[in-house]
Structure 1
Amino acid sequence: MREKCTGPSETHQINGHRVRVIYAAYDTTETRLMDMLHQLIRDAVRSSTIAQS
């Protein structure tokens, strides 16, 4: 199995819970998928934050 190094992380506040998103080092195809996934997470966080305020 290939070793995946953890990279920088973001901590989000969702419904009072602290959620930590860790960015990992991937090869190019996986990176593109992970970027899309993280974008979805960020959008979800943003919309849930807006809904609360």
Structure 2
Amino acid sequence: MATVISHLIAMVISLTATFIRRLMVTLISIPIVMVINHPTGMVTSQVDMVT
């Protein structure tokens, strides 16, 4: 019985670690994507092309 409990605990810990890692990657990538797709950035690049 103890082995089953420890196995379940290990599964939960690994799932939590994977979830936290994905959450961190998402939180890091969202601002980068927002900066890349930012409208003002596109406007400034178009202005540079015109000039």
Higher helix share: 2
Counterpart Cα distance in 2 of 1:46 and 1:27: 28
User: Runs ≥4 in structure 1, deviation > 3 angstroms?
Assistant: none
Structure 2 length normalisation: TM-score? 0.50
Structure 1 length normalisation: TM-score? 0.49
Provide structure 1 residue ranges, at least 5 long, that are not aligned to the other structure: 1-25
Larger C-alpha radius of gyration, 1 or 2?
A: 2
Paired residues in the alignment total 28
Provide structure 2 residue ranges, at least 5 long, that are not aligned to the other structure: 32-51
Amino-acid identity (%): 7
Structure number with the bigger relative contact order (C-alpha 8 A, sep ≥ 6) is 1
